[in-house]
Each structure stands twice: as structure tokens, then as C-alpha cells.
Amino acid sequence: MPPECHQLLQSLETATAGLAVLDREDMDHVQRALVERARAINAVQDWITAEQRALRPVSPELVGRLTRDLETGAEFLVRLALDRDAIRLDLMALNRGLQLLRCLGGPSPARPNAIDYRG
């Protein structure tokens, strides 16, 4: 495998490994990590496209490493989806609690439709 390809794959693997260790509650950091991984994926994709245009075969090592990276990335995306669902359920519970508190508080006092000189 050419050094350029090896370097691109290393960048992709580093970006993917970074997803596994970041704090998933810090959405700004997660977003930056996903953008970095997307750039690495695009760089590898561009390199593969250039190799195909030059009619050079794709290395089996490249395919194996990309497959492993895909599996690792998919695991992270599953964790993010589970986190999203947990947050959604928490928000639903909070909304139910808020609705219950509003109901227990009773009706709010009627407000006048017009403002008089007393406020």
C-alpha cells in the first residue's frame, strides 16, 4: 500500500478512534469529531477514486482496514442513537412532570383585557 494511502487511512482510523473516547454529552465536541471523520472519509474516497481512474487495483489491506473502520464507526453511531433516545425519553418525562405541576397549580387568575391607570 502506498505511503499516501497509509497516511490517509491512519488519519481516518485516528478520527474514528477519537469518537470512542470523547464525552458524548459535549455536543460541540461530538460535532467537531464527526466533521473531522467526514473529512478523513472524503480524503480516502478521493484517493480511491484517483486510483480507480488510473486503473490501479484496490489493495486487499485497504479494504480490510476500511471494513474495520466502518464497523467501529457504526458502533459509535449506535451509541449516539441510544443516547439520543435516552435524552428524548428524559425530555418526555420532564414535560409530563411540568404538565402535572401546571395542573396541580390550579387555574391562573383572570387577567383584564384592557390596561387601566392602576396597571
Cβ pair 88, 31 in contact under 8 A: no
For residue 101, the SS3 value is helix
- Residues 115 and 21: their CA atoms lie apart, in Å, by 58
Q: What pLDDT is attached to residue 19?
A: 86
Cβ(44)–Cβ(8) below 8 Å: yes
- pLDDT for res 116: 67
Helix segments in 1-119, DSSP class H: 3-21, 27-53, 60-104
Using pLDDT thresholds of 50, 70 and 90, give the confidence band for residue 88: very high
Task: Compute the distance between CA of residue 26 and CA of residue 50 in angstroms, rounded to an integer.
Answer: 37
Binning pLDDT at 50, 70 and 90, where does residue 112 land? low
3-state secondary structure of 93: helix
Q: What pLDDT score was predicted for residue 108?
A: 66
Q: Mean pLDDT of all residues in the chain?
A: 88
pTM over 0.85: no
Q: What local confidence, expressed as pLDDT, does residue 20 receive?
A: 82
pLDDT at 68 over 70: yes
